[in-house]
Amino acid sequence: MKKKSAIVGIVFWTLVSFLTLFPIYWLFVISVKPAVQLFSTPDIILSDPYWGNYAKVWGDRLLRSYMLNSVIISTGNALLCTILGFLACYALSRFNMSGKESIFFWTITNRMAPPAVFLLPMFLLMTTVYAVGEWSLLDTRIGMILVYCTFNLPFAIWTLRPTVDGIPKELDEAAYVDGASSWKVITEIIFPLCRPGLAVTLILTWVFAWNEYLLAATLTNFNARTLTTGLSEYVTTTGTEWGIMAAISVFTLIPALIVFGLVQKHIVAGLTFGAVKG
């Protein structure tokens, strides 16, 4: 009986995995095809891979700097959002501030804005208001880190709130009685207990920032361009170079894959967006 259900499980999940993996596999297939073969009859089985697209992408110095920008921006943004989100959640959870529930809801409304229209005010603010002399926030890594906070910081707060709320208040009260400072309570008691939630927040905000396209395409020109915007540079007037686009896509997947693999086991424990654990 037990053996049978194990086999059923494996067969079932192999099938599901096939469906899940197929588009990613197909991305890879396209990346190892020369442009002319793209328009012939599609074939599921990969034969005779062509590595030219990868050689081209790897040899492109510009793309390597985009990759570096992507890494710096998404890591910086994920860390900033997780830390600030954690502090905000601690404040919302433990202090009796007036209007805190309204503030909590208000934060998430920042994530709801339809992006297309907000591109222009962002651009104008960054070039004129957040600028000193020649220098402006536009096309800087720090600028993108801050801009991405508009959608990632609310997400971090909403993901972490149930985790922080779930830690009994008696724990910090006992520590305060023992004479610990607020800083000590946060860093030595609350922070370690929130680790699964923090890990999930960190990874998901990282992935959201890594994958963002519209804002990066508008608010960067050269210095802070990210890998996703590099994709659109291969959509030219003479047609789209799908093979190269796919090769870049595979490159964007690899770091995300590594980061995701690292925290895999924490993900389930910490994913409680807005909902309370029973």
DSSP-derived letter for residue 104 is: H
- Least separation, in Å, of the C-beta of 195 and other proteins? 15
| Residue 24 interacts with other proteins (CB under 8 A): yes or no | yes
| Residue 239 interacts with other proteins (CB under 8 A): yes or no | no
| Residue 214 interacts with other proteins (CB under 8 A): yes or no | yes
* Residues 6+ positions from 92 with CB-CB distance below 8 Å: 100, 103, 104, 157, 161, 164
Map the footprint of other proteins across residues 182-201, applying CB under 8 A.
Answer: 182
Question: Are 2 and 10 in contact, with CB atoms under 8 Å apart?
Answer: no
| Residue 116 interacts with other proteins (CB under 8 A): yes or no | yes
Question: Are 164 and 93 in contact, with CB atoms under 8 Å apart?
Answer: yes
Give how many residues touch other proteins by CB under 8 A: 103
- Least separation, in Å, of the C-beta of 173 and other proteins? 7
- Binding part of the chain for other proteins, among 46-54, 58-66, 141-149, 187-195 by CB under 8 A, reads 141-149
Rounded distance between C-alpha atoms, residue 108 and residue 111, angstroms: 5
x/- contact string, 241-260, with other proteins (CB under 8 A)? -x--xx--x--xx--xx--x
Of residues 61 and 265, the one with the C-beta less far from other proteins? 265
Map the footprint of other proteins across residues 25-84, applying CB under 8 A.
Answer: 26-27, 30, 38-39, 41-42, 44, 84
Q: Which two tokens stand for residue 50?
A: 């062509």
Scan for tokens 């040899």, then name that residue.
Answer: 59
Task: Pick one of 35, 72, 180, 269: the residue that binds other proteins (CB under 8 A).
Answer: 269
Query: Can you spell out the DSSP letters for 97-131?
Result: -TTHHHHHHHHHHHHHS-HHHHHHHHHHIIIIISE
Of residues 18 and 58, the one with the C-beta less far from other proteins? 18
Task: Pick one of 50, 65, 75, 110: the residue that binds other proteins (CB under 8 A).
Answer: 110
Question: Are 106 and 92 in contact, with CB atoms under 8 Å apart?
Answer: no
* Residues 6+ positions from 235 with CB-CB distance below 8 Å: 245
